[in-house]
Structure formats: C-alpha cells, structure tokens
Amino acid sequence: MQLTDTHCHLDFPVFESDLATRLAQWRQLGVGEYIIPAVGEENWTRVMGLAEQHAGIAYGLGIHPWYVGAQTEGVLARLHALLASEPHGLVAIGECGLDLRSQVPQEGQVEMFEAQIRLAMEFDLPLIVHSVRANDTVAKILRRFKPARGGVIHAFGGSLQQAEAFWQLGFRLGIGGVISYERANKTREAVRDMPLEALLLETDAPDMPLQGQQGEPNTPASLITIVQLLAQLREQSLADVASVLHESTRMAFPRLGKAINT
C-alpha cells in the first residue's frame, strides 16, 4: 500500500524526538507521504523546515481559526509574499476555516477564512479546511467564492447531504479516526455512501486518536487501521480502496508528487 496522511502535525513537540526513525517505521507500514498544515505564522518556518529535512513531507501554509486572534498586523501580506516565492514543498493553503464552538473566539474567523480562499484562488492552490459545527456556513462561503482548485474538508464529521454538498463544490472529505467510533453513525453512513474518490485519508496526529486509544498521542501509524476500517465499512477490498485513495490524493493536491520527489 502507498498511503498518504493528508493532515498531520508532525511539527508538534510530541514528534520532536527522533522523527527520522519514526518516519522510517511508518514507511515500513505503508505510510510514506505526509501533508503538514500550518496553524499560524508561528509555525510556517517549522513545517517548511521539516519538508526540507525529510523525504515524503509536504505542507500547507495558512492560519487556523483558533489562532486568528494571535496573529500580528500584516500577517496576510507576509503570507502572500511567502506564497509568491513558491517555496519547495508547498501544496495547499491551510489549515484555515471556521470553528463555531462557543469556547473558540469568533472574532475575525470569517474574514480570515475568506482572505485565505482568495489567496488559494490567486495562487491556484487547494484549501485544507477546518470546519467544526460550521459545515453549512463553510459550504455557503465556498459556494460564493467557488475556488477552482477545491481542496479537502479536514476531519469531516457531518451528514451525507453535507458531504454531497462539499463534493459538488470540488472538496474531498478528510477521513480519520472518527469512523472508528460507533456513535458516529451519521458520518460513518456518509463515508460509506459517498464515491470513494471523494475521500482522503488523514490522522490529525497527534490529535483525534482511534476509539480505545483516547488520551494517547495519535500517530500516522493509525492510518493503517483507518484504511482497513474504511474498506470494511464500504465492503470493498483493501487493495482497491488504497489504490483509489492514492489517486484521489494526487488529484486533490496536484503539486504533491513534485513536492515530495524533488
């Protein structure tokens, strides 16, 4: 199998110790490609550095909705300049989007998300979209802008109707540990019924652990279990699922092959 973890935060402190060894171990399992989304200007340099240091790593640059308020004046101009420099390993804008939970500061989220959609359109890059309790609002915004390159709805957790709406807008669905939870019936049904090419694999490591592993740091090794669960859920062969998802990932992130092989 050739599996790509399309959303993992390998720059987080939990992975600082001997990342090269871990990458080699994960490669032996079949996970050999990674996309690291940035969360704000404070980690743009870190994710870019990992792509330079390790084979198989690409990244997105953006501003996560949680950290909108922590950004300093001029951040969008600096992001624009960085994108214009066409840095090696860049494959997407993100992680960006909306998080409408009450404990997350709301000020500036919509404006920052819309600004990053405009950047994605200007630089012809896909978006890595964070959408928590916000699927309908995110879909409405995307419908208004119609970003031609589309992207992925990270950690999709919604209904079949919402999944279909995103797919029609050119966005694939990031599928991770949520499908291991039996209580996530609505999302499991959506994942089962959507076209396989509408899905991508991800872990959100070190977050979003599988059922039974709560409280432990998640890792890209979980991708093996996730793809097995997906094949079982859809009643398709593991080989076919892995093959289609590999091609789907290349379609979603057209610059990925060059980013990780040069």
pLDDT tens-digit readout, 38-48: 999 999 999 99
Compute the average pLDDT of residues 130-157.
97
- Tokens at residue 225, please? 């279990």
Q: Please say if the pLDDT value at position 239 is more than 60.
A: yes
- Given a contact cutoff of 8 angstroms between Cβ atoms, the answer to whether 94 and 112 are in contact is no
- Long-range residue pairs from 113-119, CB within 8 A, at least 24 positions apart, any chain: 113/65, 113/138, 113/141, 114/141, 114/145, 115/76, 116/62, 116/63, 116/79, 117/141, 117/142, 117/145, 117/147, 118/145, 119/76, 119/79, 119/80, 119/83, 119/93
- Given a contact cutoff of 8 angstroms between Cβ atoms, the answer to whether 62 and 38 are in contact is yes
Location of structure tokens 């949520």 = 178
Domains (range + CATH), the chain: 3-261 (3.20.20.140)
* 7 is annotated as contributing to ligand binding: yes
* 80 is annotated as contributing to ligand binding: no
d(CA 262, CA 250): 16
* 9 is annotated as contributing to ligand binding: yes
Question: First-to-last CA distance in the chain?
Answer: 22
- Given a contact cutoff of 8 angstroms between Cβ atoms, the answer to whether 178 and 131 are in contact is no
- pLDDT value of residue 96: 98
Rounded percentage of the chain residues whose pLDDT exceeds 70: 100
* 204 is annotated as contributing to ligand binding: yes
Mean of all residue pLDDT scores within the chain: 96
Tell me the CA distances in angstroms from 128 to 110, 116, 131, 151, one per residue in order.
15, 10, 10, 6
Q: Return the closest-CA partner of residue 94 out of 45, 128, 55.
A: 128
Compute the average pLDDT of residues 183-202.
96
Tell me the CA distances in angstroms from 258 to 6, 32, 55, 89, 233, one per residue in order.
15, 14, 12, 8, 32
Mind listing the pLDDT tens digit for each residue in 162-186? 999 999 999 999 999 999 998 899 9
Burial of 150 (0-12, 13-18, 19+ CB in 10 A): buried
* 95 is annotated as contributing to ligand binding: yes
Task: Please work out, in degrees rounded to the nearest 5, the angle formed at the alpha carbon of residue 186 by the alpha carbons of 60 and 223.
Answer: 45
Task: Please work out, in degrees rounded to the nearest 5, the angle formed at the alpha carbon of residue 142 by the alpha carbons of 115 and 204.
Answer: 80
- Given a contact cutoff of 8 angstroms between Cβ atoms, the answer to whether 50 and 59 are in contact is yes
Q: Between the CA atoms of 120, 155, 200 and 249, what dihedral angle is there, to the nearest 10 degrees?
A: 30
Compute the average pLDDT of residues 65-87.
98
Rounded to 10°, the helix 135-145/160-168 angle is 20
Q: Please say if the pLDDT value at position 1 is more than 90.
A: no
Between 115-119, 135-139, 175-179, 182-186, the lowest mean confidence (pLDDT) is in: 182-186
